[in-house]
Amino acid sequence: MPEATPSPHCIVLDWGTTNFRAVLVDASGTILDRIETQDGIQSVPKSGFEAALAERIAPWWAAHGLLPIYASGMIGSRNGWVEMPYVAAPAGIEDFAKAVRRVALRDGGSILFIPGLTDTAVKPFADVMRGEETQLVGFGLDRDATVVLPGTHSKWARIAQGRIASFRTFVTGEIFGIVSRHSFLSQVAKPQALPDWTAFARGLDTARDPKAASGLLSRLFSVRTGWLAGELDAGEMTDYLSGLVVGSEFREARELGWFKEGQEVGIIGAELMAEVYRRAAEAFGLKPRLGPTDAAMRGCLAIAKVAESSGRQAKAKPAAGVTS
């Protein structure tokens, strides 16, 4: 007798600044289908989010009806669909569940937005995250840990006593993108299709060098001087830069007390970035523990489950432009 086809239970959105990601999920959390486009929130007019969403998930709605939708990430930012509040750290699943917001859609469905997280202890201004909090929940809050989440704005977070206790942002990915695409490097470098791990390791070594007391702003110039000296060829420059900026992030995180040599560090990220940070972690004497690639979805579902079961979600409000 053939096995029954899994029945879709909900749709989970990770709608960021530059990308739209949606997954169709069954009741066990298994992904049945996915949609990924480059239609991030920056490419959608403020009043066009509902129409953009409806267009992309129309086949799912047509086949399965108005499934519940749970959303996290920059779609809940000031530049997104609705501006969600930041829950203050330390925070656990219950704290996020208390602050969710449900928005009614024109066709009768609804979407549940997950709030972000802020750490008011960071100076000079409170730090913030949107989307990474669901990844951390999906990674697991059941054991104390230090976790790094690579990205445009990398996050180092501390999990303690079942909550996200604190975190700090490093603009590593943004610095890499600016320097590699809009500086002297872009005129000379020849990025390769596959990572040059040897060049990456050289960049890490430069960042780790205890004799190099200068900061990243000074070490960045070694990308150019290495090429001028004939020590770096054009095909190595980009990966050397990657090692240099990621290594500088680890060095600064260590100086700020986020880890000591020999400790374990969790890593949550896409396959390539997880490998980049795994290599950096080992270079700094850490024991990397890779998190699940679907951590964001797991976290979003965990928060939504608590919100739905407790009935704490805010009463559904019409989407922009809809009258009740």
Q: What is the pLDDT of residue 215?
A: 86
Q: What is the pLDDT of residue 324?
A: 26
Q: What is the pLDDT of residue 107?
A: 85
Phi-psi region of 268 (alpha: psi -120 to 50; beta: other; left: phi over 0): beta
Residues of the chain with pLDDT under 70: 1-4, 213, 312-324
Token representation of residue 231? 């020590």
Q: Which domains does the chain have, with CATH numbers?
A: 8-142+294-318 (3.30.420.300), 172-290 (3.30.420.310)
Could you give the CA distance from residue 69 to residue 188 in angstroms, rounded to a whole number? 46
- 259, 146 contact by CB (below 8 A): yes
pTM for the model: 0.92
| 105-141 tens-digit pLDDT | 998 899 999 999 999 999 999 999 999 999 999 999 9
CA 298 from chain centre, in angstroms, equals: 13
- Residue 201, C-beta contacts closer than 8 angstroms, at least 6 positions apart: 243, 279, 283
Q: What is the pLDDT of residue 210?
A: 86
